[in-house]
């Protein structure tokens, strides 16, 4: 009986170590630019296609109050009923990337609320938000997860940045585009505007 108890204890310790190891690996695989960022996600609906999608992103709030957002990847579950979801009109075009910025900024608002526009001097420039994503991205069907995945093309480096002023006015979300899209680094992918239903997995520009 004692030997059986020792075996159970050993198994318990082993499972604990495996769990800790998996958590450590997950942290190590974080897409965040640096350890100062926090990784999270937000889920929304594409109003054009009617499909639900999830944005994985990192954020960092500077001491000055400027909020930095880094878009890691986007996942869209397959098998969503049609209607309302139509993958053939889920297009990775300029409107979609504007939507991604808006959804992500709203997600950050739920974590750390933006101030009303009439505080700290007033006007929509109370809080500056900079969003960054890979300039070149591709979409593909990941059979393991059962999701369409939109993520950076590693062979095409370069980033795309937009800057916004954000505040709340009478309970309404006010987002003013200040600058961008600004390209940094290299990357020569073309603007393809693929849809999820017929995409070829080719790299497409998010910054033109």
Which pLDDT score is estimated for 172? 84
pLDDT digit string, tens, across residues 112-167: 999 888 665 555 567 899 999 999 999 999 999 999 999 999 888 899 999 999 99
Q: Are 6 and 27 in contact (CB under 8 A)?
A: no
Pair (141, 95) in one structural domain: yes
Pair (136, 107) in one structural domain: yes
What residue ranges of the chain have pLDDT lower than 70? 1-30, 118-125
Pair (107, 183) in one structural domain: yes
Domain containing 15 equals 1-30
Pair (18, 85) in one structural domain: no
What tokens appear for 62 in the block? 């500077």
Pair (154, 184) in one structural domain: yes
Which pLDDT score is estimated for 23? 32
Task: Quote the CA–CA distance of 66 and 179 in Å, as a whole number.
Answer: 14
Pair (121, 151) in one structural domain: yes
Pair (16, 73) in one structural domain: no
Which pLDDT score is estimated for 13? 33
How many domains is the chain built from?
2
Pair (5, 80) in one structural domain: no
Q: Whole-model pTM?
A: 0.82
Pair (68, 110) in one structural domain: yes
Pair (45, 20) in one structural domain: no
Which pLDDT score is estimated for 123? 58
Q: Strand, coil or helix: what is 35?
A: coil
- Cα 192 to its chain centre, rounded Å, is 21
């Amino acid at each position: 009986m004692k030997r059986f108890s020792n075996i159970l204890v050993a198994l318990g310790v082993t499972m604990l170590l495996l769990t800790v190891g998996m958590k450590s690996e997950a942290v190590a695989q974080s897409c965040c630019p640096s350890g100062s960022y926090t990784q999270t996600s937000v889920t929304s609906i594409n109003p054009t296609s009617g499909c639900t999608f999830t944005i994985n992103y990192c954020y960092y709030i500077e001491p000055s109050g400027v909020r930095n957002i880094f878009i890691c990847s986007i996942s869209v579950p397959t098998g969503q009923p049609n209607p309302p979801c139509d993958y053939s009109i889920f297009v990775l075009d300029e409107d979609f990337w504007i939507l991604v910025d808006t959804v992500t900024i709203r997600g950050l608002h739920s974590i750390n609320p933006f101030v009303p526009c009439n505080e700290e001097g007033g006007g929509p420039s109370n809080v500056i938000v900079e969003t960054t994503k890979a300039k070149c991205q591709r979409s593909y069907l990941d059979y393991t997860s059962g999701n369409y995945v939109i993520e950076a093309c590693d062979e095409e480096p370069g980033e795309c940045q937009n800057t916004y002023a954000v505040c709340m006015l009478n309970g309404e979300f006010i987002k003013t585009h200040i600058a961008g899209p600004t390209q940094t680094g290299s990357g020569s992918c073309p603007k393809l505007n693929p849809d999820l239903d017929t995409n070829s997995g080719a790299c497409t520009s998010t910054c033109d």
